[in-house]
Structure 1
Amino acid sequence: MPKRALSEKRPILLASIAVALAFYYLRFEPIPEMYLIPLKGAAVGLLALYAYWRHPGADARLVAWVMGFGAAGDMVLLIDTEVAAWLFFGGFLFAIGLYLRHRRAVMAQSQKAVCIALLVITPLVCWLLPVDRASSTSFVLYGLTLGAMAAAAWASNFPRYRVGAGAVLVLLSHLLIIAGMGPLATSAATEIFVWPIYYLGQFLICTGVIQSMRKREPQLRVVRTH
């Protein structure tokens, strides 16, 4: 990776990490929520900016949209969970589209099993967790899309233990949020774990996809010249 590019782009990632940590600790302080909302959105929003500036390709724009929807959902989640769910849902659809554009040509049986498990177990868990059974159908649809996003990431040709693992972490964070509406309603676990798990997942997805595309550029140039 060129030193100049690294020196120019790393500050965006460092700023994103700093903002994410600031939000995590400041939300426990007596600070008005109106100040926390933009701070929370800026963490993943800076990842969207990183994706947009780091690579000029269409796939990088898709990553930026994924992060942008995530950042919007992060902010709205502090105000209206239903609207936030729709924003996250939109981000999942963009992510699925990105991963399907980069499907892995060959997959081991064990990896196929992981994808099937993500597709089946996620909506099932989303159906079982909420206390309000009247909204169970909506949670199943949300879980199916969430599981499809993680399965598509796992089946893509992006680094599995960065992008695939990142998608699974995002999935886990959303399951914890839903669990907070049910069995973990009185637990501090969601307050402690959701944000770091979610942010780490988004960070791994964004940096994993962008760096993978940059590494493939010389190979693509060779193919185009033959």
Structure 2
Amino acid sequence: MVRRALIERRPWLFASLLVALAWWAFSDSDMVPGLYKMVWKAVPLALLAIYAFQRHLGTDGTILSGIMATAAMADAMSELHYLAAGTIMALSLFLAVWLYARNRRAMLATSQKLLAILLVITVPIIAWYLLPGVDGRQLVTGYGLLIGIMAAMAWTSRFSRYRVGAGAMLFVVSELVLFSISGPLMRDSSLDSTVVWPLYYAGQLLIATGVVSGLRRAADA
């Protein structure tokens, strides 16, 4: 019953979830050539971009679509060139910071402020220590700073912390796990699709649905 309602009312969201699960299950197989894998990996986030855009939620909805579309391009590029993928994903993160800055929470508890500050400080530090002796360590640390700022802004925005805030946290964890398996401390590329992808996609899914839900409630108020 729930699945039927999801298909009928949110087909783009259902399609995104289905393709993402298929990628998680089959991306390590040799059934799909490299070029098609690039397209396949981009599809889940591209469908989330369409899902956000067709909700007609004004400027903030358009920014959300841009976040997801840019992330989709980064996902595709990650199959070819990690530096280019990181550069494109950085643009998605800048768009996310812009969206959350436009939707600041009016009142923040001290604990919420402290967590936001902690994210900005600790995420780049953890990124730095996960990549000892790796070329481009400083660049990745800067990227970690941007991730921390994005998560802090998400956590202090007016959107649901249980969805958007939690989604941003999952995104942070996925990127830190990716750094760890790419660096010398724990080299294991097989964990990319089995661990990083579900954390990453779940985070983006929570962000997309949480922002859409928040914008719709604000529009109906």
Query: Is this a same-fold pair by TM over 0.5?
Result: yes
How big is the shift at 1:47? 0.1
- 1:124 aligns with 125
Going from structure 1 to structure 2, the CA distance change for 1:25 and 1:98 (only over 3 Å counts) comes to same
The whole-number CA distance in structure 2 between the counterparts of 1:171 and 1:206 is: 16
Deviates more, 1:81-90 or 1:36-45: 36-45
The whole-number CA distance in structure 1 between the counterparts of 2:161 and 2:215 is: 14
The whole-number CA distance in structure 2 between the counterparts of 1:57 and 1:162 is: 21
The whole-number CA distance in structure 1 between the counterparts of 2:215 and 2:76 is: 29
Larger radius of gyration: 1
- 2:30 aligns with 30
- 2:192 aligns with 190
How big is the shift at 1:56? 3.6
TM-score relative to the length of structure 2: 0.92
1:180 paired with 2:181, answer yes
Q: Percent identity?
A: 38
- 2:106 aligns with 105
State the one-letter code of the partner of 2:91.
G
- 2:15 aligns with 15
1:91 paired with 2:92, answer yes
1:212 paired with 2:217, answer no
| Number of equivalenced pairs | 215
How big is the shift at 1:184? 2.1
Deviates more, 1:198-207 or 1:6-15: 6-15
- 1:55 aligns with 56
The CA RMSD over aligned residues, in Å, is: 1.7
Q: Which runs of 5+ in 2 are unaligned?
A: none
State the one-letter code of the partner of 1:194.
V
State the one-letter code of the partner of 1:166.
G
The whole-number CA distance in structure 1 between the counterparts of 2:56 and 2:126 is: 37
State the one-letter code of the partner of 1:196.
P
- 1:158 aligns with 159
TM-score relative to the length of structure 1: 0.90
Going from structure 1 to structure 2, the CA distance change for 1:147 and 1:30 (only over 3 Å counts) comes to same
- What SS does the corresponding residue of 1:117 show, helix, strand or coil? helix
- 1:224 aligns with none
The whole-number CA distance in structure 2 between the counterparts of 1:206 and 1:86 is: 21
